[in-house]
Chains A and B, each alone.
Chain A
Amino acid sequence: QQQVKQSPQSLIVQKGGISIINCAYENTAFDYFPWYQQFPGKGPALLIAIRPDVSEKKEGRFTISFNKSAKQFSLHIMDSQPGDSATYFCAAGNTGNQFYFGTGTSLTVIP
């Protein structure tokens, strides 16, 4: 059973637009929901993370929205830039334990 489902698989956005990536999870015991950004030839790097006791977290142009009752969370990238073109992974799990990763979203921001 896939613990974390991520959509869309790929996304093309115009520069300045909003990129939205969605994830859903199964296990209500998860208490940590990070998003990772991966550039070609590099490992995934933590972008932003949220815990289930808040509904939204914002860091610069990146915002996580969290809906605990629906078991869903999403990443919003405001004012998308070509430099944001990368693959984005959501994950869910418990700190210091196994994370379950989504299948990734390839984002392309067109100048």
Chain B
Amino acid sequence: DAGVIQSPRHEVTEMGQEVTLRCKPISGHDYLFWYRQTMMRGLELLIYFNNNVPIDDSGMPEDRFSAKMPNASFSTLKIQPSEPRDSAVYFCASSLAGAVNQPQHFGDGTRLSIL
């Protein structure tokens, strides 16, 4: 089975540019999570969706960050304008609701560097 697929794997861009990160969850999963990982703050939940609807975006750091999930198989996290402090590894994860013992399955992340 295909896991969670994220693209791009690496992104290097200059401050002020728009950055779009993409995620394809595992087919059939109805929860999707976006995380940010840094050495200083560890793994932070940014936002999560249930059935394509945003449930909790309280972790989104600023209005520069936005996330969408137009359908069950695709989500984007956008940063506009980007800043050097946004440099981190961004993970997408998905899970299946309605069943016990269902963990979150993570993609391999996008390593973002803002110069």
| Interface residue ranges, A against B (CB under 8 Å) | 32, 34, 36, 41-46, 49, 51, 89, 95-99, 101-104
Closest approach, in angstroms, between the C-beta of B33 and any C-beta of chain A? 8
CA distance A43 to B91 in the complex (A): 7
Known: A46-B105, A49-B103. A96 touches B43 (CB 8 A): no
- B42 touches which one: A34, A42, A95, A101 (CB < 8 A)? A101
Within 8 A of A (CB), among B97-115: 97-109
Whether B101 pairs with A44 at a CB distance below 8 angstroms is no
Size bin of chain B's contact surface: 20 to 34
A34 to B97, CA, bound (A): 16
Per a CB cutoff under 8 Å, which of B43, B100, B108 touches A95? B100
| CA A10 to CA B105, docked complex, whole Å | 24
**Structural contact, A51 and B101, CB atoms closer than 8 A:** yes
Q: Taking the complex as formed, is B82 at the interface, i.e. its CB lies under 8 A from any CB of chain A?
A: no
